[in-house]
Amino acid sequence: MVPESYYLALSAVLFAIGVMGVVVRRNPLVIFMSIELALNAANLALVAFGHRHGSPDGQALVFFVMAVAAAEVAVGLAIIVVIFRVRHRLSVDDLSLMRW
């Protein structure tokens, strides 16, 4: 049996990679995919914690995270498509309209 702390360490690595993807990449689609990566790392940690405590609640929580992520991806991609329609370019460096 692999101890849960290994899963948590793997989750930490994945989360860090996802955060770096969000910061480093310029394409909003790739940034979005990196967010999904970080979300999945959090899910993995949740399942590992649930496994540790012997309760299925962590898995129920992950179920809800999946549903919210699906809604989030749908809305986010629609927003990206609309931005592309207006600007004809896709780079987060151009999207400084709401910057203070």
Partner 1 sequence: MTAAVAFGLIALIVVGAALGLVLKRNPIHGALFLVVNLGGIAALYLTLGAEFLAAAQVIVYAGAIMVLFVFAIMVLIPGKEETGPDPRRRYRLVAVPVGAALLVELTLIVARRGAAPPGPAVPGGVETIGRLLFTNYLFPFELTSLLLLAAMVGVMLLAKRT
Those residues whose C-beta lies under 8 Å from the C-beta of residue 15, and which sit 6 or more positions away, are 38, 41, 42
CA 13 to chain centre: 13
Rounded Cα gap, residues 58 and 61, in angstroms: 5
Question: Between residue 20 and residue 59, which ones bind partner 1 under the rule CB under 8 A?
Answer: 20-21, 23-27, 29-30, 32-34, 36-37, 40, 43-44, 47-48, 50-57, 59
Sign, CA dihedral 100-15-82-89, equals positive
Q: How far is the CB of 45 from partner 1 (least distance, A)?
A: 9
Q: Is 19 in the site for partner 1 (CB under 8 A)?
A: yes
87 binds partner 1 (CB under 8 A): no
In angstroms, what is the minimal distance from the CB of 97 to partner 1?
A: 17
Instruction: Decide: is 66 part of the binding site for partner 1 (CB under 8 A).
Output: yes
